[in-house]
């Protein structure tokens, strides 16, 4: 086979792909567009296993790995996912290279969401850093570890805008804002791909696959998998910009969504996947469906049968079907024969997939180096980077009376209370599959290490964090998911927690949700703390011992009582492998928290969806009184976050006037009025007073995370030009920039008060 032109690296990619295409049957081509789950990564049964002894509903899952191997050997699979170790990857790759008719290597994809072996903070937390460079650096490490075991491509970043915290997958994205979301999306693509655009990445990088295109974050009621109904204006101005930023950053792949978007399944929406993505944006990579999404076109009553589903999925613009069993794309030869889709369309998709495989160098280097894996996965510098990343994500929500930082020299004892405090698995967060729970540093462990021998640190789990009512597939895949021990007595544990707090100098209470209470298939109908955590918090405050609340969650929770009665509240998210150390460093003042909220934090679930960039309405002065029984303002605004330092803003300057199409430089002076060196996140917002369409009351248009030494002033500059000020108008059905007057604000959150104006002339 070595004398075949498509195996000759001296030829161009196009020449190699042309030669290979000429040798493939329609059936071979359909195989290249099929990606199978390989569930044996979570436990494979031997070939001689008695499958008939299993219940009928379990037999197909048990046999699935053997079915996938047969499909690979027959050339009926072009890709596999959930392969997470080099040995397994090489076994499957040998079947493809040495046994299949044309020896075309597989491309392996995986959910590398916030780390592979080294786990970084969850994505919503990384967005809270407002530091794209740090996010990019973290994904470079994730890519290096994943590539070492033979993974070529990440099903990430998730760049869905999410305005409803009930939606579980809010944890995977960058929050509610298209400006911040676009910056984080582009940073992750650069990180995964090593800054390279397209498929020709280095051997320590992986291809990025932004998802879910598009509108998944607007699922009705925050219910995962439900449909989304989004106006053209919202789609263009809010939900699509992060995808456009990811494409502009060079993303080689993109994943289509599986919910209905405005009455058409996104995975069958040719306008979305072809007209917008390819024709308008110039995307040249390949599109993969989300899990079973092409098959589901029949389930959604969009396609007549699976043959019709395969034809519709391909015609819409999907180049590869992700599937567990019996792919609809297996029917593409029948669909071509029946005239439901043309062979030219089929060929276009196959070319995109083969081009990626050639440019990745898979024909020359199909196998992972099993001997080199350990050195990469065990790299100490990766763990150090994870800690540094976590330190950047922590958001100080409240700090009355300078309750934080704690002074270890003045403390004799610390009570650490809460199941989540001593749960390494929950510290890592969801969407991790090759983690090492034993090396994860819990919050309790981090506090003990940092407090030192002179401080007594004791822990009581307290009341249980009530588990979710409906376990998901991900729970079954993860045997490390913690469970409350049998015989746990909430009343007794609450009494123990109170007793410990009463005899301690300070009580650090970790509240929140377990990692499996958020994520895919983990939407929530309430934002209340699970179980009796609020009751416990109230009892601990009643002891009179100073209380610090650490919130471990990936969504806003109902903190109304805590915000009134707990002096210090620190949002720690799910901080990753070295998260406990990072949290301790903030508690004791080794670092000053500088994370800022990438989401608006509502007071109550009845307020959602709530977001900062809403429209002005005809009664703006009554914005806070939209409900008669509750304030209609957030508990914490978008961009909020406190510091151990004190920052002030002054001298906000614009040129006064610029013309449409020109760029204005806006500057603001940031002063650290404290004795603490710290970082601040300076944010720029605008409001357009009049124009072709109405515009939101405030829109984020720029941000900078800057270090400001104690007592010093730093001047921060932003640009406001067409890229920042144009918008898509439902009036003109196109992008416009108006001659208008802009209100301009700069400061530390979306309610910044320092303001000026900028006139845009026609």
- Token pair listed for 333: 């030869």
**Is the Cα torsion angle 452, 455, 460, 466 positive or negative in sign?**
negative
Quote the DSSP letter at residue 276.
I
Q: How many residues does the chain have?
A: 762
Calpha distance 604→608 (Å, rounded)? 8
Q: Collapsing DSSP states into helix, strand and coil, what is residue 36?
A: strand
Contact 164/111 with Cβ under 8 angstroms? no
List the catalytic residue out of 111, 177, 260, 290: 290
Whether the bond into 280 is cis, omega within 30 of 0: no
Whether the bond into 212 is cis, omega within 30 of 0: yes
Calpha distance 742→722 (Å, rounded)? 13
Contact 333/343 with Cβ under 8 angstroms? no
Give how far Cα 754 sits from Cα of 395, 746, 760, Å.
22, 6, 20
Maximum distance among all alpha carbons in the chain?
81
Calpha distance 757→517 (Å, rounded)? 45
Calpha distance 655→662 (Å, rounded)? 11
Q: What share of the chain is helix, strand, coil (3-state, %, to 5)?
A: 40, 20, 45
Can you spell out the DSSP letters for 434-497? Answer: S--GGG---HHHHHHHHH-TTSEEEEE--S--PPPSS--HHHHH-TT---PPTT--HHHHHHHH
In which region does residue 536 sit, left (phi positive, over 0), alpha (psi from -120 to 50) or beta (all else)? alpha
- In the residue annotation, 290 being an active-site residue is answered as yes
Please give the positions annotated as active site.
290
């Amino acid at each position: 086979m070595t004398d075949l032109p498509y195996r000759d690296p001296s030829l161009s990619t196009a020449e190699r792909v042309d030669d290979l295409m000429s040798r493939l049957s329609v059936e071979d081509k359909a195989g290249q567009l099929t990606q199978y789950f390989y569930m044996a990564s979570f436990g494979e049964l031997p070939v001689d296993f008695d499958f008939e002894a299993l219940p009928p509903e379990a037999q197909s899952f048990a046999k699935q790995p053997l079915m996938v191997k047969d499909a690979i050997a027959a050339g009926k699979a072009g890709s596999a996912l959930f392969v997470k170790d080099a040995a397994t990857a090489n076994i499957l790759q040998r079947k493809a290279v040495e046994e299949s008719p044309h020896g075309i290597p597989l491309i392996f994809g995986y959910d590398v969401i916030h780390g592979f072996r080294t786990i970084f903070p969850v994505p919503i937390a990384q967005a809270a850093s407002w530091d794209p460079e740090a996010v990019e650096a973290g994904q470079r490490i994730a890519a290096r570890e994943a590539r070492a075991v033979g993974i070529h491509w990440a099903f990430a970043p998730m760049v869905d805008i999410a305005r409803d915290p009930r939606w579980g997958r809010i944890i995977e994205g960058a929050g509610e804002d298209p400006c911040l979301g676009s910056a984080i999306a582009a940073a992750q693509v650069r990180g995964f791909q090593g800054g390279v655009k397209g498929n020709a990445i280095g051997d320590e990088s992986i291809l990025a696959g932004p998802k879910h295109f598009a509108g998944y974050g607007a699922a009705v009621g925050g219910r995962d998998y439900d449909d989304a109904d989004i106006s053209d204006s919202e789609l263009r101005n809010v939900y699509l910009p992060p995808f456009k930023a990811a494409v502009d950053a060079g993303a080689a792949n993109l994943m289509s969504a599986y919910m209905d978007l405005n009455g058409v399944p996104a995975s069958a929406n040719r306008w979305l996947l072809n007209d917008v993505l390819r024709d308008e944006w110039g995307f040249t990579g390949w599109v993969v469906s989300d899990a079973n999404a092409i098959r589901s076109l029949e389930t959604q009553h969009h396609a007549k049968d699976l043959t019709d589903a395969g034809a519709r999925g391909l015609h819409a613009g999907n180049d590869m079907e992700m599937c567990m069993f019996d792919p609809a794309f297996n029917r593409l030869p029948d669909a071509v024969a029946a005239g439901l889709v043309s062979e030219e369309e089929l060929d276009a998709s196959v070319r995109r997939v083969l081009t990626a495989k050639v440019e990745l160098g898979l024909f020359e280097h199909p196998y992972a180096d099993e001997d080199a894996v350990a050195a990469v996965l065990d790299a100490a510098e990766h763990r150090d980077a994870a800690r540094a990343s976590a330190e950047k994500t922590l958001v100080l929500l409240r700090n009355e009376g300078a309750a934080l930082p704690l002074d270890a020299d003045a403390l004799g004892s610390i009570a650490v209370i809460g199941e989540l405090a001593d749960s390494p698995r929950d510290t890592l967060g969801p969407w991790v599959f090759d983690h090492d729970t034993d090396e994860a540093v819990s919050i309790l462990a981090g506090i003990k290490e940092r407090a030192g021998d002179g401080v007594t640190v004791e822990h009581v789990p307290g009341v249980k964090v009530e588990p979710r009512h409906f376990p998901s597939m991900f729970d079954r895949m993860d045997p490390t998911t913690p469970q409350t021990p049998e015989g746990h007595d909430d009343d007794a544990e609450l009494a123990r927690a109170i007793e410990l707090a009463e005899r301690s100098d300070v009580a650090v209470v970790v509240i929140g949700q377990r990692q499996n209470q958020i994520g895919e298939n983990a939407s929530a109908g309430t934002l209340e703390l699970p179980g009796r955590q609020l009751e416990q918090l109230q009892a601990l405050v009643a002891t009179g011992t100073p209380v610090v609340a650490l919130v471990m969650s990936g969504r806003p929770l109902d903190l109304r009582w805590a915000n009134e009665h707990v002096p210090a509240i620190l949002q720690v998210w799910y901080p990753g492998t070295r998260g406990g150390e990072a949290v301790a460093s903030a508690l004791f003042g080794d670092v000053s928290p500088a994370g800022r909220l990438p989401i608006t934090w509502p007071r109550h679930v009845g307020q959602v969806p709530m977001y900062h960039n809403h429209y002005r309405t005809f009664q703006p002065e009554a914005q806070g009184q939209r409900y008669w029984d509750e304030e209609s303002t957030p508990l914490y605004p978008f961009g909020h976050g406190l510091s151990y330092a004190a920052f002030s803003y002054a001298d906000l300057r614009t040129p006064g006037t610029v013309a449409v199409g020109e760029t204005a430089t806006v500057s603001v002076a940031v002063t650290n009025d404290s004795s603490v060196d710290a970082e601040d996140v300076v944010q720029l917002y605008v409001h357009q007073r009049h124009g072709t369409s109405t515009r939101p009351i405030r829109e984020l248009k720029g941000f900078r995370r800057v270090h400001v030494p104690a007592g010093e002033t730093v001047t921060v500059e932003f640009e406001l030009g067409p890229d920042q000020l144009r918008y898509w108008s439902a009036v003109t059905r196109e992008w416009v920039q108006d001659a208008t007057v802009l209100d301009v604000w700069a400061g530390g959150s979306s309610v910044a008060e320092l303001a000026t104006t900028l006139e845009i002339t026609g």
